[in-house]
Chain A
Amino acid sequence: MVEFSPAVIDTIIRAAALLGAGFAMIAGIGPGIGQGYAAGKAVESVARDPEARGNIITTMLLGQAVAESTGIYSLVIAIVLIFTI
């Protein structure tokens, strides 16, 4: 059984927290795909019906904002891991 000094344990905890922050941001994939999909569909709709452009863009932005939530949660978790530990 190896005994670690408190400084080493602190360093390990900090390293684990920073790694965890990096892993948390993997969640950024989800909003990326979701927002891109919404934007692509909006482009298709504007191409089909250019008159409804304003409504489509408003709806797209609202949907993208909701899709972004999960990414923002992971960002907040990453910030907490980096700056409080």
Chain B
Amino acid sequence: MNPGPKILFYLFGKDFLPITDTLIVGWVSVIIILIGAKYLTTSLTIRPNGKQNVAEFIIEIIYKQIEPMLPGEGWRFLPFIATIFIYVGVGNLIGVVPGVTNPTGDLNTTLGLALVVFVVTQYEGMREYGVWGYIKSFAEPVIFLLPINIIGELAKPISHSFRLFGNIVGGGIIITLIYQAAPFLIPVPLHAWFGIFVGAIQALIFGMVAIAYISVAKS
């Protein structure tokens, strides 16, 4: 038993561009999101009905998380934050299907998302204060704190990505161990806990921490 991504085959010859199972499940979840979004948003009307209610419900939940922390800019950040929420959510919940590895149980996925959030955070900070003003804010309140502030800023994407990765991989290891000990019936509540509950909470937290980082950079 070995946690983490398994290399299935190599694109372009030996040892170049390995294709892992988490990468394939990541593509599958992107396709699921695309089909779902297309299905939910066909035939939009003023008076919502049926599937349009579902789409509006999802968007409203995400909007209500953004608006209190970034006042007045909810609609501006909604596409970015909603992408993270929905991709991480689908990536976490797809692991409920037995035998499917979570795309978020791969450090490459989570670190990629965290680096995108990191770049957006820096951009928003510079947009708010100007480039020089933002760089100067690292040397506050005294100049001695400059290295500590820079390390603290660089630690954000690391803790952001390792939190999601560790939660998903930890749950996956426990479920694999239980499957070896008792393969029938007992893993079902564990799938409900680690797959659905922890997956949904961690997707919510990944998005909320991204909002919190952006709002800290802007204040």
Contacts and interface: CB of A to CB of B under 8 A. Distances in A.
Given A61-B205, A62-B212, A83 B166 contact: no
A72 B167 contact: yes
A13 interface: no
B159 A62 contact: no
A76 B3 contact: no
A69 B162 contact: yes
A65 B166 CA distance: 12
B169 A79 contact: yes
A65 B205 contact: yes
Interface residues of A, number: 14
State the majority secondary structure of interface residues on A.
helix
Interface size class of chain B, counting residues whose CB lies under 8 Å from the partner chain: 20 to 34
B173 A79 contact: yes
Contacts of B205: 61-62, 65
Interface string A59-80: 0011001101100110110010
Interface in A21-76: 55, 58, 61-62, 65-66, 68-69, 72-73, 75-76
4 nearest A-B pairs in the assembled complex, by CB-CB distance: A72-B166, A65-B205, A69-B159, A75-B166
Contacts of B65: 58
Contacts of A75: 166, 169-170
Contact of A68 (B2, B4, B163, B173): B163
